Amino acid sequence: MRPSDLLCSRPQGLYCPPGDFFIDPVSPVDRALITHGHSDHARSGHRSVLATRETLDIMALRYGADFAGSTQAAALGETISLNGVAVSFHPAGHVLGSAQIAVKHNGLTIVASGDYKRQPDPTCAAFEVVPCDVFITEATFALPVFRHPPAQDEIGKLLRSVEQFPERSHLVGAYALGKAQRVMRLLRDAGYDKPIYIHGAMARISDYYQGQGIDLGQLEPATVEAGGKADFAGAIVIGPPSTFADRWARRFPDPVSSFASGWMRIRQRAKQGGVELPLIISDHGDWDELAATIKETGASEVWVTHGREEALVRWCELEGLAAKPLHLIGYEDEGQ
Ligand SMILES: [Zn+2]
């Protein structure tokens, strides 16, 4: 069996002909296996969805309980047979519930890793290396310029700024699923025990994390209805980056604009976005993590998707690995 007989690109996404299922399809299909809850991977309207319990819960929170015709929860490491094809889910270290999906058939193993990172993250299970013949990797930050510093060092920058400017509020942009909760947890781990103020768009998902045993400390709504601007002096406020241009952001006193993203490595990007305090915190592997992970899987063939495909394909070829870009469309990660 050739790898492309087991998984191939279709307009809807990655498809398994013998198993008759899709992985992270971008449009509605009969059977979808979903790696994680970010909106470009987890879409509503499939007839049946197989995913981890957390990913199913997150999809229900975002799309409503009827987001799919039927759902099945996959326990990590459990093998499930779909038309004779064995599939299993393994932690990806990206966000809560995120999983790589291993597909095995006739002695061939392909791992579709979805989005992943190797840096420690106290809000989700750590990435597990799954030996395979073909490894499908993301390439969001697949250029040598992307090297993510330890996330706790970046949080240290934020806390020093809060200390230095006690009269100003600190407005931290972070994606609502995963990044925001990671920033909250990192602040707690660094000893920050004051309330953290959050935008309404991240309240339910943060509550869900807390309910899953991830202690984010005291979270308060970032609203001024009951008080005044001065209430937020010295406060840390976390909101989705898209809200920073809104009226919402103007209620805070002389805010220090901050943004937690792997893209903050690019100074120009931070400047253009008006980001005063860039924090290089990413939920995707950097160049070194991607390269190390590919080697650790022992795969002899690598398929590269969503991001800087060409650079990583070239690196694989120099390492003597067969590699190709998958050219899947529709993945523009919300959680970078
Ligand atoms: Zn993602």
User: Tokens for 297?
Assistant: 């899987």
Cα–Cα distance for residue pair 82/267, rounded to 1 Å: 47
Q: How many domains does the chain have?
A: 2
**Cα 321 → chain centroid:** 27
Asked if residue 334 belongs to a domain, the reply is no
165 and 118 inside one domain: no
274 and 315 inside one domain: no
Mean residue pLDDT across the chain: 94
Reported confidence tier of residue 333, pLDDT bands at 50, 70, 90: low
> Helices 53-63 and 203-211 sit at what angle, rounded to 10 degrees?
150
Asked if residue 330 belongs to a domain, the reply is no
207 and 299 inside one domain: no
- The answer to whether the CB of 114 falls within 8 A of the CB of 37 is no
Asked if residue 243 belongs to a domain, the reply is yes
pLDDT mean over 153-158: 98
Show which of 279, 297, 314 is a domain's final residue. Answer: 279
Q: Measured in angstroms, how far is the CA atom of residue 141 from the centroid of ligand 1?
A: 13
- The answer to whether the CB of 174 falls within 8 A of the CB of 260 is yes
Reported confidence tier of residue 243, pLDDT bands at 50, 70, 90: confident
> Helices 151-164 and 179-189 sit at what angle, rounded to 10 degrees?
70
Per cent of the chain over pLDDT 90 is 86
73 and 138 inside one domain: yes
Q: Measured in angstroms, how far is the CA atom of residue 106 from the centroid of ligand 1?
A: 30
CATH code of the domain containing 105? 3.60.15.10
Stated pTM of the model? 0.95
255 and 291 inside one domain: no
CATH code of the domain containing 269? 3.40.50
Sequence-ordered list of residues with C-beta below 8 angstroms from that of 234, at least 6 positions apart, any chain: 162, 166, 167, 168, 169
Cα–Cα distance for residue pair 259/189, rounded to 1 Å: 19
Asked if residue 130 belongs to a domain, the reply is yes
**Cα 282 → chain centroid:** 8
Cα–Cα distance for residue pair 104/95, rounded to 1 Å: 25
Look at residue 225 and tell me whether its pLDDT is greater than 70.
no
54 and 140 inside one domain: yes
Look at residue 336 and tell me whether its pLDDT is greater than 60.
no
289 and 272 inside one domain: no
27 and 139 inside one domain: yes
Q: Measured in angstroms, how far is the CA atom of residue 36 from the centroid of ligand 1?
A: 7
Per-residue model confidence (pLDDT) at position 219: 97
Q: Which domain holds residue 311?
A: 3-145+284-325
Asked if residue 173 belongs to a domain, the reply is yes
Asked if residue 188 belongs to a domain, the reply is yes
Cα–Cα distance for residue pair 42/114, rounded to 1 Å: 11
Q: Measured in angstroms, how far is the CA atom of residue 37 from the centroid of ligand 1?
A: 7
pLDDT mean over 164-178: 95
Per-residue model confidence (pLDDT) at position 330: 76
